Amino acid sequence: MALDSEKKQVFKVVGTRPARPDGIDKVTGRAMYGADATAPGMLVGRILRSPHAHAIIRSIDTSAAEALKGVKAVVTSADFGAPEDESIRDVQDNCMARGKALYHGHAVAAVAANSAVVASQALKLIKVDYQILPHVTDVDEAMRPGAPVVQADRAFENVAAGFSENVTSQCEFGHGDLEAGFAKADKVIERSFTTAATHQGYIEPHACLASMTPDGKGDLWCCTQGQFHVRTVCAEIMGMDASQLRVTASEIGGGFGGKTTVFIEPVALALSRKSGRPVKIVMTRDEVFKATGPTVSSSMDVKIGMTKDGRITAAQARLRYQAGAFPSETVTYGAQSAFAAYDLKAVETIGWNVLTNRPKEAAYRAPGAPMAIYAVESVVDELCQELSLDPLDVRLKNAADKGTKSSYGPTFEAIGLRATLEAAKAHPHYTAPLGVNQGRGLSCGFWFNFGGNTCVSLNINTDGTVGITEGNPDIGGSRASISQMAAEELGIPYEKVRTIIADTNSLGYNDVTDGSRVTFSVGLATIEAARNAIKVMCGRVAKIWGIDEDAVIWEDGCAKPSGPNAGSFDPMSIEEIAAISANTGGPIAGHFEVNADGAGVSFGVHLADVEVDPETGATKVVRYTVFQDAGKAVHPDYVEGQMQGGAVQGIGWALNEEYIYGKNGLLQNPGFLDYRIPVASDLPDIETVILEIPNPGHPYGVRGVGETPIVPPLAALSNAVSRAIGRRMFELPMSPPKLLKAMSQKR
Amino acid sequence: MRYEKPSTAQEATNLLATEPGIARVLSGGTDVLVQIKAGMIEPDLIVDIKNLDRIRDITPEQGGFRIGAAVSGATLGEHAGVTALWPGVVEAFELIGSTQVQGRATMAGNLCNGSPAADSVPAMVAANAIARIAGPDGARNCPVQDIPVSPGRTALAKGEFITSIFLPARPERAADAYLRFTPRTEMDIAVASAAVSLELDADGTCTSARIALGAIAPTVVLVDAASICIIGTKLDATSLEAMSEACSAACNPIDDKRGTVEFRTRIVGVLAKRAALIAYKRAGGRA
Amino acid sequence: MKNLHISTTVNGDQTEFVCAPDETLLDVLRNRLGLTGAKEGCGTGDCGACSVTLNGRLVCACLVLGAEADGAEIGTVEGLATGDHLHPLQSNFIEHAALQCGVCTPGILVAAKALLEKNPNPTDTEIRYWLAGNLCRCTGYDKIIKAVQIAAAEMRNA
Ligand SMILES: Cc1cc2nc3c(=O)[nH]c(=O)nc-3n(C[C@H](O)[C@H](O)[C@H](O)COP(=O)(O)OP(=O)(O)OC[C@H]3O[C@@H](n4cnc5c(N)ncnc54)[C@H](O)[C@@H]3O)c2cc1C
Ligand code: FES
Ligand code: FES
């Protein structure tokens, strides 16, 4: 996308806080989420899962289950083909184990029955003959030669020698002369860190309703972040043409990246095909934890050199990410983002992806970045302490800025890091006094943001109101923002616009709702679609007035002559133009299709105050402030909401959330009681400060805001805790037993 | 599975005693329904006791209170009399679960579920609470302390169930307190817990103490060795330290997903110390 | 397993249904009565998405048997608004962006209503503890607490 020359600076609708269009449905219980769909003759689908961490499936005997009254279909991997595309085959094998169960909770068979009771009984009748294999769930252990091999022959050639077969890929980024850089430093610190796997923790479990007919057509309703992606994957797995599978996204009860892939949809489709009836599958919470996407866990080393006055001379990171039983690219994002906040002469990051007997990792808000940046920001903080430097000053001194060659290659356009740091420095929080046992920490955060394939239709109704059809599920108010941008561009009130999310048959391909792309890309496409519609309207009016098309301009929802030379005509409003559209050439619409780039990276800074109980190791967050560059906040409430929600997910990650595996390789805590996401009483208010440094790649300057806020809390809290207890922490989560132990050790 | 809702205790015991399969009493259901959902139990019979006479009543008795087995946390918490007399028991019970769980959960259910981490149990033991049990051979009384025998098992015989729990009278200048440790502020299961019930004389010297610990052994532990450290003192720092150490020494915990042996052993002493100070203050002592 | 015939009151309306003895009230509401406002986030009492009132007490519908509803009064999110008039909690949740995905919202509204009936003037801390059994993964709770406060003030002044 070329830079937009007509950048809009004064807004009427954008920047206001109107009520969201789906609000009433959601507060009255009317909104239809994944599990709320029904279909005539619907069956209940249930999935049998591996009780072992790693086992060969010698055989599966489904005969007793099939014989049970009420059971209409049973499927195993034998009911699926072998897609050529490796990544799609991985998705399929994750949905239904082929030959080997790769983790505790891996699906091995499924049934469809006329009731939930019968379906559960049927699962018990399926006999699976397992040959248990040695397993590995820890990333460092999995890398060692001789470790149990999760999947053979999956490693890329560029992986350095000396690792086990579980290391499937390696990536490297950076520039400059490290050795010379470190030599210039007054202080070099090198530390190792670990972070536990965490789950996105959306409150709505995965759910879908599949209906296949004998003529090969299919309909699928599901809660997803991307119905088009679901269609691509499912059509391929089911051996169908995309045109024959229509996917409709339900309202979605949270995703955070975890609903960008499929877990149950192909299984429901296969059961429906086999039974000839619609099949609904709703995961239990236990299944969600065992078999859907946690994020990676990590083991990392970071080395940074700094001069006495706080200039970073060289920086290096080694990242080892375990992403479960299938190859993953997430470590690449970690390696790219680790040092993104800094303007560095010498920097190097190397990352490895590692297979383990854990569920296939799925994207989680800024996938790969939080852990890498946690390690980097921890070492920077320790250097500040060692050299008695102010941590904000040091960040300002080294901050990346417009024109900086980033640590991962590209040169930055206008970015908001410096402004964000300065806002934090000027904020009263930064200098507020601390109490006993309290500490203050800060961290920068970064995310790339994405654009991607986007397609929007904008129809001018005959009464002059506007219908927008877009293809990205609304996970946090995006329909409101899209309507706002359309209203802004068309010069009409927000209330005149209604935005809906289309099924896969109604629009061209849209990438999933991820990468913080929706407000940016769909917004951009909507603005362009509106401009196209305006062009059509101006053309119609030009004909009516009998003047040149470029002599008509669009202002405040009306076509007007461009000036006195164009002639003297009364402005024609959008209502008037629409009302006579049948006589001027027919319906009026605007479309826009784009593979958008120019998303504009986003930076944030978080300040956290904590209090640690010296006798129990319990940490309380007492004050928290988020500073972030939003480019342009279209609907500030929802921007703040993203900042607050992301911060709290990061707080959970830092303090108490973790996947706990026993020695037997089984997940110990697949429920919300023991997988401890923050509850309301754990938290203070989350203050927000929105900065607006326009993104040159968007007509209104919008940047994605959804992901960056989960990045800084990890280090902000670790730095705060480390300062509060006078000892450095190198491990997340900082659960009370770990803190108490650290506090009892000599400094 | 059958669901029965008897209206007399006799009927309830008969149902429980004669069921050949697995029978479960249903009070608040906040354990039973979770266990059914998780596939941990598949009962053949559920006996809902909430319809029995007086089972939801709180009645003053001999200076103390008799609490019906189906009294929920929300109801007990609203009872000014019990809250004034046994604040530690009420606060322990109210720590269980969320507001929603409080709307249903009962102390008898908490006790009979047999979890080593049950919150109300150490508080009831410190309070020397007595359970009244209905059974095929009629009613009997049993100290709460003697009911849990191992994780998930109780001393109740087939056909028996608890109809009420009696919290005794207590003298002037007496109070109790309960503290637990959980990583989150709410919605969490105790990693370790301590209940302390104290009686003081006129000058604030402790004359009697009962200290019960939870989640640090297969069942609740009443630690006489800890009580001795503070009886005869005004809870000065040295005796509190000794009491705290006695509590840690009484631990026999396990390592699990919720905490380590080391952690549990250390913090239980801290909790006991803090709970003792709260109880002391409530009883009118000035530390 | 013999089904049971249950008579109850839901949102003020006399209602009858048939359910299996081990069926939860949540399943009954969602699958038999078409009231899908209450959500199942966990089925084990941990998330609060299924919050309803049972004889005026806030409970998790997933931890109540359908059979226990016999003769009881049940309140769900569908009963919050009167006609086309939203409850102040509902309108303030929309106005102050207290929902993102909205899946926790029905449970939180029912829980918050129960709080304000008991305590019309709660502190932030009281709201936070009362709602601790209602998990929300999207908002970080900040705007929820504020919306409840604003609704409470509006209700006190009504
Ligand atoms: C989200 C959540 C959070 C929780 N948090 C906590 C917590 O913080 N602390 C804690 O201690 N517990 C907690 N629990 C567990 C549970 O809420 C408590 O144990 C509660 O007190 C059980 O009471 P109930 O009446 O619901 O028991 P029920 O589920 O009805 O019964 C529990 C057991 O006791 C038996 N039983 C019940 N009543 C009697 C009786 N009168 N006589 C004989 N047997 C009986 C039942 O058959 C069953 O085996 C939590 C549960 C949930 C779902
Ligand atoms: S579904 Fe009932 S509490 Fe989660
Ligand atoms: S708004 Fe999504 S869980 Fe609360």
Domains defined for chain C, CATH in brackets? 4-79 (3.10.20.30), 88-157 (1.10.150.120)
Asked if residue B100 and residue B235 are part of one domain, the reply reads no
pLDDT number for residue A9: 74
- Helix residue spans in A19-164 (DSSP H): 23-28, 63-67, 86-95, 116-125, 139-143
Residues B22 and B154 in one domain: yes
- What's the domain count of chain B? 2
**Nearest Cα residue to atom 9 of ligand 1:** B96
CB–CB contact C78 A28 (8 Å): yes
* Interchain contact, B183 vs A735, CB within 8 Å: yes
pLDDT at C128 over 60: yes
Check if A741 contacts C (Cβ < 8 Å). no
pLDDT tens across C12-52, in order? 999 999 999 999 999 999 999 999 999 999 999 999 999 99
d(CA C85, CA C81) in angstroms, rounded, equals 6
Q: Give the closest ligand to the alpha carbon of residue C60.
A: 2
Q: Is the CB of B191 under 6 A from ligand 1?
A: no
Task: Give the residue, by CA position, lying nearest to ligand 2 atom 3.
Answer: C45
Q: How many CB atoms lie within 10 A of CB A586?
A: 9
Rounded Cα distance between A388 and A306, Å, is 12
Identify which of B181, B188, B256 has the shortest CB distance to residue A676: B188
For residue B217, the distance in angstroms to the closest alpha carbon of chain C comes to: 25
Please tell me the distance in Å from C37's CA to the nearest CA on chain A: 4
Does ligand 1 come within 6 angstroms of the Cβ of B199? Answer: no
Instruction: Write down the CATH superfamily of domain A42-133+204-253+259-291.
Output: Aldehyde oxidase/xanthine dehydrogenase, a/b hammerhead (3.90.1170.50)
Is the CB of residue A298 less than 8 Å from the CB of residue A241?
A: no
Q: Is the CB of C50 under 6 A from ligand 2?
A: yes
Residue A650 contacts residue A713 (beta carbons within 8 Å): yes
Pocket test for ligand 1, best of B3, B27, B55, B100 (most atoms within 8 A of CB): B27
> So what's the ipTM on this one?
0.98
| B56 contact C CB<8A | no
The answer to whether A407 touches A398, Cβ cutoff 8 Å, is no
Distance between CA A28 and CA B21 in Å, rounded? 44
d(CA A459, CA A591): 9
The C-alpha angle B155, B161, B165, rounded to 5 degrees, equals 90
Whether residue B256 contacts residue B115, with contact meaning beta carbons closer than 8 Å, is answered with no
**pLDDT at position C158, please?**
87
Instruction: Kindly give the distance from the C-alpha atom of residue C105 to the centroid of ligand 2, in angstroms, as a whole number.
Output: 13
Distance of alpha carbon C11 from alpha carbon C87, whole angstroms: 14
Position A7 scores a pLDDT of 56
Of B200, B195, B240, the C-alpha closest to B222 is B195
Give the minimum alpha-carbon distance from A39 to chain B in angstroms, rounded to a whole number. 25
CA B262 to chain centre: 24
Residue A24 Cβ < 6 Å to ligand 3: no
A320 DSSP β-pair partners: A299, A352
CB of C4 shorter than 6 A to ligand 3: no
Whole-angstrom distance, CA of residue B184 vs CA of residue A651: 12
Of A708, A656, A722, A626, the C-alpha closest to A365 is A708
**Angstroms from A253 CA to nearest CA on chain C:** 5
Which residue from A158, A182, A181, A173 is spatially nearest to A349, judged by alpha carbons? A173
Q: Which residues of B touch C60 (CB under 8 A)?
A: 98, 100-101, 104
- B48 is a domain residue: no
Distances (CA, A) of C144 to A493, C81, C112: 28, 19, 10
Instruction: Provide block-wise average pLDDT over 10 residues at a time, chain A (747 residues).
Output: 51 96 97 97 98 98 98 98 94 98 98 96 98 98 98 94 97 97 98 98 98 96 97 97 97 96 98 98 98 97 98 98 97 98 98 98 97 98 98 98 95 94 98 98 96 96 97 92 97 97 96 87 96 97 95 96 91 98 97 92 97 97 97 95 98 98 97 97 98 94 94 98 98 97 85
In a domain, B186, yes or no: yes
**Which atom of ligand 1 is nearest to C46's Cα?**
1
Q: In what order do the strands lie in the sheet with A602-612?
A: A438-447, A602-612, A619-629, A686-691
Distance CA B24, CA A690 (A): 56
Distance C63 CA to ligand 2 centre (A): 8
- Pair B31, B157 in one domain: yes
Atom of ligand 1 nearest to the CA of B111: 34
Question: CATH topology for A297-449+600-744?
Answer: Aldehyde Oxidoreductase; domain 4 (3.30.365)
Residue C122 near chain A (CB below 8 Å)? no
* Residues whose CB is less than 8 angstroms from the CB of residue A583 and which lie 6 or more positions away in sequence, other chains included: none
Tell me whether residues C65 and B5 touch, CB distance under 8 A. no
Hey, which chains touch A, using 3+ CB pairs under 8 Å?
B, C
Q: Are residue B155 and residue B209 in the same domain, yes or no?
A: no
Same domain? For B163 and B193 the reply is: no
Cα separation, C68 vs C73, whole angstroms? 11
**Residue B8: how many CB atoms within 10 A of its CB?**
12
Neighbours of B203 (CB within 10 A): 8
Same domain, B129 and B22: yes
R_g (Cα) of chain B, nearest Å:
19
Among B152, B167, B182, where does a domain finish?
A: B167
Asked if the Cβ–Cβ distance from C65 to B46 is below 8 Å, we say: yes
Instruction: Give the separation between CA A641 and CA A264, rounded to whole angstroms.
Output: 30
What's the gap in Å between the CA of A644 and the closest CA on chain B?
Answer: 19
Measured CA to CA, the distance from residue B211 to residue B272 in angstroms comes to: 8
B90 and B185 inside one domain? no
- Using alpha carbons, select from A323, A424, A306 the residue that is nearest to residue A371: A323
The domain at A451-596 falls in which architecture?
A: 2-Layer Sandwich (3.30)
Common-topology check for domains A42-133+204-253+259-291 and A297-449+600-744: no
Instruction: Indicate yes or no: CB of B270 within 8 angstroms of CB of A678.
Output: no
C113 Cβ under 8 Å from any chain A Cβ: no
Classify strands B221-222 and B206-214 as parallel, antiparallel or unpaired. Answer: antiparallel
Can you tell me which atom of ligand 2 is nearest the CA of C62?
Answer: 2
Helix axes A736-744, A712-725, angle to 10 degrees: 40
Closest in A286, A681, A736 to B185, CB measured: A681
Nearest by CB to A737, which of B38, B184, B260? B260
The angle, 0 to 180 degrees and rounded to 10, between the axes of the packed helices C105-118 and C88-95 is 130
Q: Which amino acid is at A384?
A: C
Given B133, B167, B201, the domain boundary residue is B167
Residue ranges per structural domain of chain A: 42-133+204-253+259-291, 297-449+600-744, 451-596
Query: A-chain residues within 8 Å CB-CB of B258?
Result: 674
What's the confidence (pLDDT) of residue A747? 62
* Domain CATH number, residue B240: 3.30.390.50
CA distances from B28 to A461, B44, B69, B70, B271 (A): 56, 18, 10, 7, 28
Q: Which of C25, C50, C59, C137 to mutate to test the pocket of ligand 2 (most atoms within 8 A of CB)?
A: C50
- Residues A288, A319: contact at Cβ < 8 Å? no
Q: What is the mean pLDDT of residues B175-190?
A: 97
Q: How far is the CA of C101 from the centre of ligand 3 (A)?
A: 5
**Residue A677 and residue A622: Cα distance in Å, rounded?**
17
- Ligand 2 atom having least distance to the Cα of C133: 3
Domain end point (choices B101, B136, B167): B167
Range of the domain at B91: 2-38+55-167
- Record: contact B48-C68, CB cut-off 8 A: yes
Determine whether the shortest distance from the Cβ of C46 to ligand 1 is under 6 A. yes
- For residue A209, the chain C residues in CB contact (below 8 A) are none
Which residue's alpha carbon is nearest to atom 3 within ligand 1? B97
This prediction has a pTM of 0.97
Determine the pLDDT at residue B287.
Answer: 58
B124 lines ligand 1 (CB under 6 A): no
| Biggest distance spanned by C-alpha atoms of chain C | 52
Same domain, B151 and B179: no
- CA–centroid distance, residue B105 to ligand 1 (Å): 6
Sort out which chain A residues have CB atoms less than 8 A from B34's CB and list them: none
Given the CA of residue B69, which atom of ligand 1 is nearest to it? Answer: 41
Nearest to A673 among B187, B191, B260 (CB): B187
User: Are the beta carbons of C100 and A200 separated by less than 8 Å?
Assistant: no
Q: Quick check: CB of C46 below 6 Å from ligand 2?
A: yes
- Identify whether B287 is part of a domain: no
- Pairing mode, strands B2-4 and B45-48: parallel
How remote is the CA of residue C41 from the centroid of ligand 2, in Å? 5
Smallest Cα distance from C27 to chain A, Å: 11
Question: Which pairs with CB-CB distance under 8 Å and at least 24 residues apart come from A741-745?
Answer: A741/A617, A741/B262, A741/B263, A743/A612, A743/A614, A743/A617
Residue of A195, A188, A202, A219 whose CA lies nearest to A289 = A202
First to last CA, chain A: 54
d(CA A655, CA A718): 9
C61 in reach of chain B (CB within 8 A) = no
Q: Is residue B44 part of a domain?
A: no
- DSSP sequence for A413-482: -S--HHHHHHHHHHSHHHH----TTEEEEEEEEEE----EEEEEEEEE-TTS-EEEEE-S--SSSHHHHH
